[in-house]
Amino acid sequence: MAKDIADSAETNMKLIEEVLAAYPDKAKKKRAKHLNVAAPVVEAEPGIQSKCDNVKSNIKSVPGVMTIRGCAYAGSKGVVWGPVKDMLHISHGPVGCGHYSWSQRRNYYTGTTGVDSFVTMQVTTDFQENDIVFGGDKKLEKTIDELNMLFPLNKGISIQSECPIGLIGDDIEAVSKKKAKDIGKRVVPVRCEGFRGVSQSLGHHIANDMIRDWVLEAGEGARAGYEPGAYDVNIIGDYNIGGDAWSSRILLEEIGLNVIAQWSGDATIAEMERAPAAKLNLIHCYRSMSYICRHMEENHGVPWMEYNFFGPSQIAASLRDIAAKFDARIQANAEAVIAKYQPLVDAVNAKYKPRLEGKKVMLYVGGLRPRHVVDAYHDLGMEIVGTGYEFAHNDDYKRTGHYIKEGTLIYDDVSGYELEKFVEAIRPDLVGSGIKEKYNTQKMGIPFRQMHSWDYSGPYHGYDGYAIFARDMDLAINNPVWGMFDAPWKKTA
């Protein structure tokens, strides 16, 4: 073990201990299991740099500690279903959930909003006390009728349950069946009440299961009569944040593949219906959509593979891995595409690497980014000194070892207190996390980028996205504002 790794491992372990000291005993015991440093690999495995699955994950958050996590509704409506653009998504229950999640994930789409596309709309049954007391099924039925009348070009409706629905015993499945018949479109009930599970993660899973049961296995839809091509693939688990799926799609098309469906950024229900006809599922966000890939593999014989379109190293590796599943023509195309973009990569690196080399980064994000973006930073000469997930499972932490070096600080479901203390102690050059973490970090004088929404920038996927990513990291770190925090008349001790 190199000395600097041993040093950082030891310092980080000490830091964890110090941070845990603030907790009452019960909470301390619980939280201790979620904090660790990336350990050395015991048995050498190809591509594995460290052992990161030495933290517990996907466990209930400790009450009162200021978890950064969201809920199952956020996982279903906010992540999986919300971006499906030609469906109306009803936030079923009180007004708040739909309000706070309204237009906040930047799932880009084309179309005419309010006419044939509905992503940036907040549609809700706006529950009142009467609905809680007497049940909301009748209101839901009429809501569907009203929506279908006002938005005749909608291709379906999903019902995103908020907490009360599961508590008052409503039968949204019965309503869905009835109304699907009435309006002749898909009506999908999703029981993603916020109290289910421990984070967004169960919401992803439930949402995937409902796609399985109420879309893929409920009639062929647009799949009927579709003649599958030899190069048909799907992009799965790309939410087109800032256009990510588009800057990925363009590369896949360039190497000669046909992307017949995007899930679920800029998706239409027809694309989803047709997806099982593809030859291969390409999954970007493993955490939120692996479930449907497994289903399509088992029931429709569609194999799937993970890929990573963050940063040129991973993009090139992924393009080669994807091409390897096809013929020599596609493989040659992949090489040509990689070569075509190499000058862009070289120019980006020449411009930004000198400004970013050696800068230390801490990440705390959601489903795939705490590992997937790591090599994009490496491509710019930057270093990851801490990473963690809001709602990962053990298999995510296992995969994290592909990217993260030994001694890196790992934190699962980090609390506001822990993250603040970690950042304060490590003082990285950049923190990548969410809106709730942005402003407190910046006030400490540490540059920050939101890594859920790309801080209103993007896309970050693909070669086109890499240039934007590099530009954004540079502008965050190298802005002159960070040098003006201290008043010049203030004497330093």
Q: Residue 346 is which amino acid?
A: D
To the nearest 10 degrees (0 to 180), the angle between helices 244-254 and 462-477 is 140
Q: Tell me if 459 contacts another protein by CB under 8 A.
A: yes
Task: Write down the least CB distance from residue 407 to another protein, Å.
Answer: 26
Q: Tell me if 183 contacts another protein by CB under 8 A.
A: no
Instruction: Determine which residue in the list 54, 67, 313, 478 makes contact with another protein, applying CB under 8 A.
Output: 67
Cβ neighbours around 41 below 10 Å, total: 13
Q: Tell me if 336 contacts another protein by CB under 8 A.
A: no
Q: Tell me if 265 contacts another protein by CB under 8 A.
A: no
Pairing status of strand 409-411 against strand 383-387: parallel
Quick one: 47 or 483, whose CB is closer to another protein?
483
Q: Residue 87 is which amino acid?
A: M
Q: Tell me if 492 contacts another protein by CB under 8 A.
A: no
* Cα dihedral 90/390/422/284 (nearest 10): -110
Task: Write down the least CB distance from residue 22 to another protein, Å.
Answer: 6
Stretch that binds another protein, among 16-24, 181-189, 204-212, 377-385 (CB under 8 A): 16-24
Quick one: 274 or 402, whose CB is closer to another protein?
274
**Closest alpha carbon to 110 in 271, 281, 290:** 271
88's CB contacts (< 8 A; 6+ apart) are: 118, 121, 123, 147, 151, 154, 156, 157, 158
Residues 469-488 contacting another protein, CB under 8 A: 470-471, 481, 485-487
Quick one: 72 or 187, whose CB is closer to another protein?
72
Q: Tell me if 445 contacts another protein by CB under 8 A.
A: yes
Compute CA 234 distance to the chain's CA centroid, rounded to the nearest angstrom.
Answer: 17
Task: Write down the least CB distance from residue 280 to another protein, Å.
Answer: 16
User: What is the sign, positive or negative, of the torsion defined by CA atoms of 317, 318, 321, 323?
Assistant: negative
89 included as an active-site residue: no
Residues 396-425 contacting another protein, CB under 8 A: 415-417, 420
- Distance in angstroms (rounded) separating the CA atoms of residues 175 and 405: 51
Tokens 């992540």 appear where?
Answer: 79
Instruction: Determine which residue in the list 6, 230, 435, 479 makes contact with another protein, applying CB under 8 A.
Output: 435
Q: Tell me if 167 contacts another protein by CB under 8 A.
A: yes
87's CB contacts (< 8 A; 6+ apart) are: 81, 118, 154, 155, 156, 157, 158, 186, 269
204 included as an active-site residue: yes
Catalytic residue among 204, 369, 372, 449: 204
Q: Tell me if 339 contacts another protein by CB under 8 A.
A: no
Residues 211-230 contacting another protein, CB under 8 A: 222
Catalytic residue among 105, 196, 372, 461: 105
Tokens of 146: 């009203």
105 included as an active-site residue: yes
Q: Tell me if 280 contacts another protein by CB under 8 A.
A: no
Cβ neighbours around 370 below 10 Å, total: 30
Q: Tell me if 428 contacts another protein by CB under 8 A.
A: no
Q: Tell me if 367 contacts another protein by CB under 8 A.
A: no
Q: Tell me if 468 contacts another protein by CB under 8 A.
A: yes
The residues that are catalytic are 71, 74, 105, 204
